[in-house]
């Protein structure tokens, strides 16, 4: 699809990659609706982008957001399912000194699943339903997964959500291809955004040392992959790692 023909929702658009995707799409002439929990952050996006508070984990919020966005954009043919959070922790941990055993909090497991998996699923459901109701085709859904989907220490909740998102990228592509809708996912490696800004410098150095291209990714690196998914009508059903080669190591 041509970027200027897109009527597209971007979730998690107040910060990091989502803000970058929404801005790049707007610059390319797409009609963009940006949703995020952080309504103040949305206001920093360029004028002309539709901005609305959205909690992707709340079904009623998602239903209302998609209906309003479709009305304001004059239709809907694309979604970037980008909103996501981290609540890292080992499943079980034993303190070396005290011997105390601590466990991953159920609330941290649940919240990450609620936002990263249920939220993305509700958004895809509502956007695809809106496309079908208006006989819109072609359409495209881009899921933002993560290379953590391959398994990553201290991230059971995040890994489970991002792996399920990648698997359901294939499921949904199978289900909605007959309606002219493609579904594909981009799985970034570590990217410079507010999500990763607080990382311990030593851990960061160790991580960069494992990336063959020798640097952390930028939102622009990931945008180039998202743009390929949006533009190339032959990209469908798969998840593409974009990580400077980190996951092949
Ligand atoms: P970010 O800078 O933290 O931006 C994420 C945005 O999503 C924030 O504005 C956040 O709002 C919003 N959000 C959180 N919960 C939400 C909810 N329930 N409903 C709507 N919006 C919500 O993160 P990022 O690094 O750009 O990450 C974007 C996506 O890429 C995420 O799905 C992330 O998992 C994925 N990813 C990131 C990396 C990385 O290294 N950065 C790597 C692989 C994959 P608040 O600030 O108010 O929470």
- pLDDT tens-digit series, residues 34-49: 999 999 999 999 999 9
CB 35 within 8 A of CB 54: yes
Helix (H), strand (E) counts: the chain: 8, 9
Question: How far is ligand 1, taken at its centre, from the CA of residue 178, in Å?
Answer: 31
Ligand 1 pocket: which of 9, 10, 12 to mutate (most atoms within 8 A of CB) = 12
Q: For ligand 1, atom 47, which residue shows the shortest CA distance? A: 38
pTM of the model as a whole: 0.98
| CB of 244 sitting under 6 A from ligand 1 | no
| CB of 230 sitting under 6 A from ligand 1 | no
- Rounded Cα gap, residues 130 and 106, in angstroms: 34
Query: pLDDT tens across 168-223, in order?
Result: 999 999 999 999 999 999 999 999 999 888 888 888 899 899 999 999 999 999 99
- Rounded Cα gap, residues 189 and 217, in angstroms: 7
pLDDT for res 75 = 98
Q: What is the DSSP string of 198-227?
A: T--HHHHHHHHHT-TTSS-B-HHHHHHHHH
Q: What is the mean pLDDT of residues 64-91?
A: 98
| CB of 117 sitting under 6 A from ligand 1 | no
Order the strands of the 78-81 sheet from edge to edge: 50-53, 31-36, 7-11, 78-81, 139-144, 181-188, 239-242
Residue entry with tokens 């043919």? 77
Q: What CATH number labels 3-241?
A: 3.40.50.720
Query: pLDDT tens across 221-237, in order?
Result: 999 999 999 999 999 99
């Amino acid at each position: 699809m041509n970027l200027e023909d897109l009527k597209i929702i971007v979730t998690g658009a107040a910060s990091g990659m989502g803000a970058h995707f929404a801005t790049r799409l707007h610059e390319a002439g797409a009609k963009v609706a940006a949703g995020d929990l952080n309504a103040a952050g949305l206001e920093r996006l360029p004028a002309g982008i539709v901005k609305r508070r959205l909690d992707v984990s709340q079904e009623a919020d998602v239903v209302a957001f998609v209906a309003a966005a479709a009305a304001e954009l004059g239709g809907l043919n694309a979604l970037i399912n980008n909103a996501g959070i981290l609540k890292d922790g080992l499943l079980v941990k034993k303190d070396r000194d005290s011997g105390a055993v601590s466990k991953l909090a159920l609330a941290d497991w649940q919240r990450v699943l609620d936002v990263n998996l249920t939220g993305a699923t509700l958004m895809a459901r509502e956007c695809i339903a809106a496309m079908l109701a208006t006989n819109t085709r072609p359409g495209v859904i881009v899921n933002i997964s993560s290379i953590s989907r391959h398994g990553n220490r201290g991230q059971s909740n995040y890994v489970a959500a991002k792996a399920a998102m990648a698997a359901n990228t294939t499921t949904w592509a199978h289900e909605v291809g007959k309606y002219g809708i493609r579904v594909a996912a981009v799985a970034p490696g570590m990217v410079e955004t507010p999500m990763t800004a607080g990382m311990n410098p030593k851990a960061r150095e160790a991580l960069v040392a494992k990336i063959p291209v020798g640097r952390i990714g930028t939102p622009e690196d990931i945008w180039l992959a998202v743009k390929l998914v949006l533009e190339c009508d032959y990209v469908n059903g798969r998840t593409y790692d974009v990580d400077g080669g980190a996951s092949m190591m």
